[in-house]
Amino acid sequence: MVNEATIWKLFENIFDPEVPVLSILDLGIVREVHVKSKQEVEVVITPTYSGCPAMDVIGMSIRMALLQEGFTQVQVKQVLSPAWTTDWMSESGKQKLKAYGIAPPNHKQLVCTPDAFQEEEAVQCPHCGSYHTQLVSRFGSTACKALYQCNDCQEPFDYFKCH
């Protein structure tokens, strides 16, 4: 019988379709795995953002992978609480993001409040390593990213924003 440890291991090879260097474990969205019998398994995941279109694809990838392992009843359950936070992203995930050219999230900070024109935390340029960077827009190419530009190498880059 396929045990839970094997399934967690399997998830190292299921990737976020929008940031394909990150596995769903790196993202920290898999919350629980319950093997109920030889045929039946339940996986609990939590979305990064309410409207994240990747969640449906990820749910399907999980289902396919587990069907291939011989399970016939696969339930992928979505829970919203506790709400996902970038603090659940793995350290290796953060390194992979940086190598991919996306600045990894800083630790969750006090600036996650609704007050206007707050001092932004310093975000390191993933290209040249400079902290001399500026926010272009808090909203980027996907829900989880903000748009930055480096003042030293001038390159624009995505920042996986703290959430």
Partner 1 sequence: MHDPLFHYCLFLADSALILGHRNSEWCGHGPVLEQDIALTNIALDLIGQARNLYQYAASIQGGDATEDTLAYLRDERAYKNCLLVELPNGHWGQTVLRQFFFSTYQYYLFQQLINSTDVQLAAIAEKSLKEVTYHVRWSSEWVIRLGDGTEESKQKMEEAVDNLWSYTGELFVPAAYETPGFGVDLNVVQMQWQQKVAAILDEATLALSQQGWMQKGGKEGTHTEHLGYILAEMQSLQRTYPGARW
- Interface residues with Zn ion (CB under 5 A)? 125, 127-128, 130, 150, 152-153
Taking the complex as a whole, how short is the minimal distance between the CB of residue 112 and Zn ion, in angstroms? 25
Instruction: Mark the segment that binds partner 1 (CB under 8 A) among 7-15, 27-35, 66-74, 76-84.
Output: 76-84
Torsion 8-9-13-16 (CA) sign: positive
Q: Is 28 in the site for partner 1 (CB under 8 A)?
A: no
Which CB atom, from 10 or from 59, has the smaller least distance to partner 1? 59
Q: Which parts of 35-64 interact with partner 1 (CB under 8 A)?
A: 47, 49-53
Q: Is the peptide bond before 114 cis (omega within 30 degrees of 0)?
A: no
Select the binding partner of residue 150 from partner 1, Zn ion, none (C-beta < 5 to 8 A, by kind): Zn ion
Q: Is 147 in the site for partner 1 (CB under 8 A)?
A: yes
Which CB atom, from 45 or from 103, has the smaller least distance to Zn ion? 103
How many angstroms from the chain centroid is the CA of residue 46? 10
Which CB atom, from 112 or from 128, has the smaller least distance to partner 1? 112
Q: Is 139 in the site for partner 1 (CB under 8 A)?
A: yes
Q: Give the C-alpha separation, 153 to 84, whole Å.
A: 33
Q: HSE, CB side, 13 Å, CA atoms: give it for residue 153.
A: 12
C-alpha dist (Å) from residue 37 to 1, 4, 18, 59, 63: 8, 11, 33, 20, 16
Torsion 120-121-123-129 (CA) sign: positive
Return the closest-CA partner of residue 90 out of 130, 50, 30.
30
Q: Is 110 in the site for partner 1 (CB under 8 A)?
A: no
Give the interface with partner 1 as residue ranges (CB under 8 A).
Answer: 47, 49-53, 79-83, 112-118, 136-141, 143, 147, 163
